[in-house]
Amino acid sequence: MILLDADGVLWRGGQVVPEAPGFIRRAQAAGLRCVLVSNNAGPDRPSYAAKCARLGLNLSEEDIFSVNHLAGPYIAANHPGLPVLVLGSEMLRASVGRHVEHAVSGQAWLDEHGLGGKLEKAEELARLREADFDLVLCGIDINVSYAKMALACVVLEKGAKLLAANHDPTFPFEDGMTLPGNGSMVQLLSRVAEVPFVSLGKPHLHILEQIERETGTDRRAMCMVGDRVDTDIQLARNAGIPAYLVLTGVSSAEDALLAGGGFELAMDLDAVAQSLGF
């Protein structure tokens, strides 16, 4: 089984990495299953699968393993019965809500309590203390607001635990742009509320363990292909599986040299396919 990171390996923003469709076709023809493994908790499985279809990537919903898919089962197993404040996409809140009885988005809580997106008066700020959650799940939020971040900080200061979809500070976009990642928001919450956080995504093994449970494939039959030393390659190191670092995303050849060994450097997916023999 080949674990493929998404951003920087299969696509950049809305543009497919040119070698990706052919790589997946050839791997599948050689009898190797490819699965997408992403730290981006925004899209759900159907959304990821639709993007794959649009970009010519032959991956179905069952081949999609993102933190969006992982978060609900993880919370249900490790924090059963606890109410969760979700920062991130509505798809993330809905995915968590299928496994957790009380999962509310930050914006929904603000709207329900008549605060909308503004906190301009002292009495409005004071009302944030009415929020009652035991967990805060922080996923990438493209509609982030001061009000939502303030709400989460107050909840954390009251004693809630902080879960991070991932702690990636950046993510690669098309035309060579690098944009803020979920880790930038996680660090804000953690530092303001002075609380630690647990990260669900790569390089931690939670997502790999979910793949093992759902597919029945042992990690010893897997290899990782990614574009980040600190997440993709480190996941492979933590799992004890082979890894390839491609230079189509975040990490550079210089980063690879500084990272030491334990993985193979490849210019792109075609080079990975050649190394794997298909």
Q: Please, are residues 264 and 275 in contact by the beta-carbon 8 Å criterion?
A: yes
For residue 91, give the nearest of 43, 46, 144 by alpha carbon. Answer: 43
Q: What is the span of the domain harbouring residue 93?
A: 70-199
Same domain (yes/no): 113, 81? yes
Same domain (yes/no): 195, 77? yes
Given a cut of 90, is residue 213 above it in pLDDT?
yes
51 lies in a domain? no
| Cα 152 off chain centre by | 19
Q: What is the mean pLDDT of residues 221-248?
A: 96
Same domain (yes/no): 162, 128? yes
Binned at pLDDT 50, 70 and 90, residue 209 comes out as: very high
Q: What is the mean pLDDT of residues 45-60?
A: 98
The string of pLDDT tens digits covering residues 9-36 is 999 989 999 999 999 999 999 999 999 9
222 lies in a domain? yes
Domain boundary among 153, 177, 199: 199
pLDDT value of residue 52 = 98
117 lies in a domain? yes
Same domain (yes/no): 85, 187? yes
Given a cut of 80, is residue 5 above it in pLDDT?
yes
Same domain (yes/no): 190, 133? yes
Higher per-residue pLDDT: 250 or 72: 72
Using CA atoms, how far residue 88 sits from 47, 189, 216, 232, in Å, is 15, 14, 30, 22
269 lies in a domain? yes
Same domain (yes/no): 137, 193? yes
Count of other CB atoms within 10 angstroms of residue 25: 15
Which DSSP letter does residue 7 get?
A: B
Same domain (yes/no): 208, 261? yes
pLDDT value of residue 119 = 78
Using CA atoms, how far residue 276 sits from 6, 100, 247, in Å, is 19, 41, 17
- The residue to which tokens 């919370």 are assigned: 75
Total domains in the fold of the chain = 2
pLDDT value of residue 117 = 64
The string of pLDDT tens digits covering residues 69-128 is 999 999 999 999 999 999 999 999 999 999 999 999 999 999 999 887 667 778 888 889
Per cent of the chain over pLDDT 70 is 97
Same domain (yes/no): 16, 134? no
Domain boundary among 138, 171, 199: 199
pLDDT value of residue 257 = 85
In three-state secondary structure terms, 176 is helix
61 lies in a domain? no
Given a cut of 90, is residue 273 above it in pLDDT?
yes
Q: What CA–CA distance (Å, rounded) separates 50 from 34?
A: 16
The string of pLDDT tens digits covering residues 151-186 is 999 999 999 999 999 998 877 676 777 788 899 999
Q: What is the mean pLDDT of residues 217-244?
A: 97
Residues 40-63 as b/e (b if ≥16 CB within 10 A, e otherwise) read bbbbbbebbbebbeebebebeeeb
Given a cut of 90, is residue 44 above it in pLDDT?
yes
pLDDT value of residue 126 = 86
62 lies in a domain? no
Domain boundary among 168, 199, 230: 199
pLDDT value of residue 252 = 87
46 lies in a domain? no
CATH code at 88? 3.40.50.1000
48 lies in a domain? no
Q: What is the mean pLDDT of the chain?
A: 94
Same domain (yes/no): 192, 207? no
Same domain (yes/no): 139, 209? no
pLDDT value of residue 242 = 98
Same domain (yes/no): 99, 186? yes
Q: What CA–CA distance (Å, rounded) separates 244 from 275?
A: 10
Same domain (yes/no): 194, 212? no
Binned at pLDDT 50, 70 and 90, residue 207 comes out as: very high
Angle between the N-to-C axes of helices 146-157 and 182-193, in degrees from 0 to 180, rounded to the nearest 10: 50
